[in-house]
Amino acid sequence: MCVKGVNRQIIEVVNTENETFEKAILFLRAEKQDSGEEELEREAESYLNGLAVPRLSPRRKNRKRLLIWGIGALLAIGAGVTLLLLL
């Protein structure tokens, strides 16, 4: 990782420990540019590790919700048919 730039500082993370991405470039906020290099390194690592969490797209969330409702509806129908047959 290195910090460089003249007007704006950036952090270039070369070892992302990710098989898809070779490097990441993070632009520092003006008020954080005076922070120590070790603190910036920790923050960059923490931020990139947080990005590694897989997130469901809204489309996949809706699909999952529909699947759950569908299974619930089938169970309710099955229970209703069972009650009718027992009576």
Q: Which two tokens stand for residue 69?
A: 């409702």
What pLDDT shows up at residue 77?
93
The confidence score (pLDDT) of residue 6 equals 57
pLDDT score at 55 = 61
Model confidence over 36-83: pLDDT tens digits?
888 888 888 888 877 765 666 667 778 888 889 999 999 999 999 998
pLDDT of residue 1 exceeding 60: no
Q: Which of 4, 11, 68, 67 is nearest to 39 (CA)?
A: 11
Domain locations in the chain as residue ranges: 2-51, 56-87
Most confidently predicted of 3-7, 8-12, 35-39, 73-77: 73-77
